[in-house]
Structure 1
């Protein structure tokens, strides 16, 4: 099993980092070949530049993006570990998605899906309570983003785990959440593609089919 972890928290002693260390170790213990993309440590540039836009015409991607795409094609399952900021990913993770998940990678001019059948598992941490995240509609934003990206890309599954109000919980609770993170990524091994957060009826996928039929 090939697994890529995308990580983008700037504080090296954050709870996100504890989750990263825990999940990486656990996945390896289950026999996975794991690649960690620490976007802060590698100083990944999240800004879409002129070379990225030109590639839509020239089909020549920046070298660092080619390497990232090769790793995604190698990957069976994609794990994202991220804080929830203003209802979404931090800029460095959003920028990675913008630059690396190109239209040409997701769907060729022949209609072939480069990442079809892969699986995604996102762990979010929040500073706010579950009630706030729900009432403010941030929960809707999270799931809409999840569906739009992974549904459009024809992933077979895309699941989300949210750990709420992390700054206000006890150390004992944090240790329990780390074990929950293990159980969450265990789904990669314990469930077959399509048995978890299936995207068969993804609204994004349905919208794409409708759009292509009309145009």
Structure 2
């Protein structure tokens, strides 16, 4: 039986917020603590703490002569490749993810993927065949965002589009609205409980998939 069948599920958690003490950072800690309590592995990529360069160079764009990935992108791909789920945690700024997160998608998640591959839904990336979860926050409430169509637009752009273009196995979105400085402890605790519940759900799904895969591998080894 393969080593993969015995390995615990692995989560790559990508954080894009400049404040190490932000609500988003608390979301990452809660998510990772929950996954670890379920016996699963987490790898955090704090883009601001890493001083990640989000600027895509012309050499990194897929062209006729191929693509030349920068050393930092190759190193990042080596760290995150092979995870069962990629969880992206970020605030909504001006109805969009932070530029740091967009640059990470441009340079790392979508590395080497051509426009033709996207149109054909045949893009090969670290997301291909894996799960994706977006956990977002905003200062405004969900009702107001829904009136503006912002949450749905974000789900379409960073969720459905990437899932289809890069052949991700699934994509879910948890949004936490009304996050501002001075929120009560009760508000924060309730929001983080939602993160806890979603993380447990994800861990249960991954554990079930790993168990099913182990059974299939065992059956194949015996046949």
Residue 100 of structure 1 pairs with residue 108 of structure 2: yes
Specify whether residues 99 and 55 from structure 1 end up closer, same or farther in structure 2 by C-alpha distance, changes over 3 A only: farther
Which residue of structure 2 aligns with residue 5 of structure 1?
13
For the residue of structure 2 that corresponds to 1:104, the secondary structure is coil
- For residues 42-84 of structure 1, the C-alpha deviation after alignment (integer angstroms, 9 at most, x for no partner) is 1001111133237763432111111222334321101111101
Q: In the alignment, which residue of structure 2 is the partner of 1:201?
A: none
Q: Secondary structure at the match of 1:141?
A: helix
Task: Pick from 170, 173, 181 the counterpart of residue 187 of structure 2.
Answer: 173
**Matched residue, 1:190:** 204
The answer to whether the aligner puts 1:160 opposite 2:137 as a matched pair is no
Q: How many angstroms apart in 2 are the aligned matches of 1:143 and 1:54?
A: 26
Structure 1 Cα separation of the partners of residues 146 and 62 of structure 2: 39
Q: Structure 1 CA distance, aligned partners of 2:131 and 2:198?
A: 13
Alignment of 1:97-176 (within 5 A): 97-102=105-110, 104=112, 111=122, 113-114=124-125, 115-145=127-157, 146-167=159-180, 169-176=183-190
Query: Residue deviations 1:71-126, cap 9 Å, x none?
Result: 343211011111011112100001100111236358599x5744332001111111
Larger Rg: 2
TM-score scaled to structure 1, two decimals?
0.80
List alignment gaps of at least 5 residues for structure 1.
196-215
TM-score in terms of structure 2 length: 0.78
Q: CA deviation at 1:39?
A: 0.3
More contact order relative to length (CA 8 Å, sep ≥ 6): 2
- C-alpha distance 19-103 of structure 1, shift in aligned 2 (>3 A): closer
Count residues with an aligned counterpart.
Answer: 193
Contact 1:55-1:61 at 8 Å conserved across structures: no
Gaps of 5+ in 2: 1-8, 210-223
Q: 1:63 aligns with which of 30, 49, 71?
A: 71
Counterpart among 29, 38, 42 of residue 21 in structure 1: 29
The answer to whether the 8 Å contact 1:28/1:34 transfers is: yes
